[in-house]
Amino acid sequence: MMMRKKLSIFLAAVMLLGLTACGSKTQEAKQEEGFQPALDTSIKGSINVAGGYSNFEALENEFDRFNEIYPNVELIYTKIDDYNNMIGTVLNGNDAPDIYVNNSWMYGREQYKASIDHAENLADPALGLDLDCIRDNILLNTEDGTLPMVPVFSSTYGMLVNKDLFEKEGLSIPSTYPELVAVCKDFREKGYPNPMMGYTADEKTSIYTVVSYPFFYSTIAGNDEAVDKMNALDPAAGEYMRPTITKMEQFLNDVGVDGSACASIEDNYEAVILRFFEGDVPMMACSGDAVSGTKKRESLSDQFTKNPFQYVFVPIPMADEGAYFLDIPNLQFSVNKDSKNLEVANEFMRFLVTSQELNEMAKNKGLMSPTKDLSFDSRYAAFGEIPESRILSPEEIGLTDDAVLQLRMAVYEYATGKLSIEDAIKGFGTYTQ
């Protein structure tokens, strides 16, 4: 369960982050200085990193870079089947990993207790991790101020944009809701029947979720009463969804989404990418996870191979004042505090948690970096330009997954014509996945 920041915890976290900032050095100075080994570089050891990915080439690239400094340290990545359910058992076994993937949503849930209990406190100043390089709002916030995991990738929601189509038709990428409405109208008039498309087969990552999530969080940010009532699944809390569902009504009327055309998109990842690569869709709503797969799939698309085009990933501007950036940790690493190789595991984490290495790994994986500089990857640079006042953090706002499910289902049931606005709101607290 995500926990909201209380003032005392926030101040404690700020103090801890300050202590890890390597004295008074600026982030730029630390980047220029580069990683400085803290151990004898001839040290021997091994590090086993566990996760759920079938392959993790981006991490293995970091292994190689670490081995340039520590050539006698063996690093291995191990995939664990049914990862979320099995990691606790693995951590309690004889072959427990030294570093492992963790998730914010596991925090506070009894069935994932082992995954948190085995985690070292990475905010300990003695470890020397450069936490200053990570965006503060995606660091997990806990009741006791400890930090059991750090994000190595992040994600968000937005839309892939075919830049060449916009340039060809003399149109600008929209940055406000009125501009989005206008550009969709312009594209239709120029012969593009589907200016915006997205996956629609289920609610979790449908276009309706992608466009509504950031807007919804903007309506409850700073409203502790709303968060408490929604987390308690109080039926009356359904009213907090009204602005978002009403906005969805407006979006469907103003922008228009052809449900039958979108229904041909079979999944929220490869099929979304390949449909976008056909080259006739100006904007494709999707998650950052989908964007991570674009580079590898350019060669899988005959249309893109024959007629390549420039594309970027940008926020969807659902508000009159502009787009919101919903900043979400994607993948997080924990260090097993009971590791037999704790010293070298911590040294690898100290190597990895720097702007240079996190950006390098994110670029290789194709995901958004958790660092404060997003300009290095043109695909995500637009998110780095969003004003701080419109950056929203689910980690800080503190809605539980069960509460978010209610919003997701309500929006989907309304958008697909199964429920009226009133019935969708009344259903709060009753939706199940």
The phi, psi pair for 119, rounded to 5°, reads -80, 130
The sign of the torsion formed by the CA atoms of 101, 230, 267, 188 equals negative
Does residue 12 sit within a domain?
yes
H-helix or E-strand spanning residue 77: strand 73-79
Integer-rounded Cα radius of gyration of the chain: 22
Distance CA 214, CA 392 (A): 8
Q: Parallel, antiparallel, or unpaired: how do β-strands 325-326 and 391-392 relate? A: parallel
252 and 314 part of one domain: yes
Q: What is the pLDDT of residue 23?
A: 38
Q: What is the pLDDT of residue 321?
A: 94
84 and 215 part of one domain: no
Give percent of the chain above pLDDT 90: 84
320 and 334 part of one domain: no
Q: What is the pLDDT of residue 14?
A: 37
302 and 335 part of one domain: no
Does residue 431 sit within a domain?
no
Does residue 387 sit within a domain?
no
Distance CA 162, CA 142 (A): 40
Query: Are residues 262 and 285 in contact, defined by beta-carbon separation less than 8 angstroms?
Result: no
Note the pLDDT tens digit of each residue in 322-332.
999 999 999 99
Q: What is the pLDDT of residue 221?
A: 95
Distance CA 356, CA 361 (A): 9
Q: What is the pLDDT of residue 180?
A: 98
Question: Which CATH number goes with the domain that contains 163?
Answer: 3.40.190.10
Q: What is the pLDDT of residue 18?
A: 41
Exposure string over 378-396, b if 16+ CB within 10 A, otherwise e: ebbebbbebeeebbbbbbb
Does residue 384 sit within a domain?
no
Name which of 331, 336, 370 is nearest 354 in CA terms: 370
Q: What is the pLDDT of residue 13?
A: 41
**Tokens read off for 240:** 């907090």
Q: For the chain, which ranges sit under pLDDT 50?
A: 1-24
The sign of the torsion formed by the CA atoms of 129, 139, 63, 379 equals negative
143 and 163 part of one domain: no
Q: What is the pLDDT of residue 238?
A: 97
Does residue 413 sit within a domain?
yes
276 and 410 part of one domain: yes
**Tokens read off for 227:** 């968060």
- Kindly give, in sequence order, each residue whose CB lies less than 8 Å from that of residue 108, ignoring residues fewer than 6 positions away: 1, 2, 3
Note the pLDDT tens digit of each residue in 136-171.
889 998 888 899 999 999 999 999 999 999 999 999
347 and 412 part of one domain: no
135 and 164 part of one domain: no
Q: What is the pLDDT of residue 30?
A: 62
260 and 370 part of one domain: no
Exposure string over 260-287, b if 16+ CB within 10 A, otherwise e: eebeebeebbeebbbbbbebebbbbbbb
202 and 103 part of one domain: no
**Tokens read off for 319:** 């508000």
Does residue 282 sit within a domain?
yes
Does residue 166 sit within a domain?
yes
113 and 240 part of one domain: no
Provide the residue range defining the domain that includes 119: 7-148+330-378
Q: What is the pLDDT of residue 74?
A: 98
Q: What is the pLDDT of residue 6?
A: 38
Q: What is the pLDDT of residue 3?
A: 40
Q: Supply the pTM of this predicted model.
A: 0.85
How far from 79 is each of 111, 115, 359, CA to CA, in Å?
21, 16, 23
Q: How many domains does the chain have?
A: 2
334 and 317 part of one domain: no
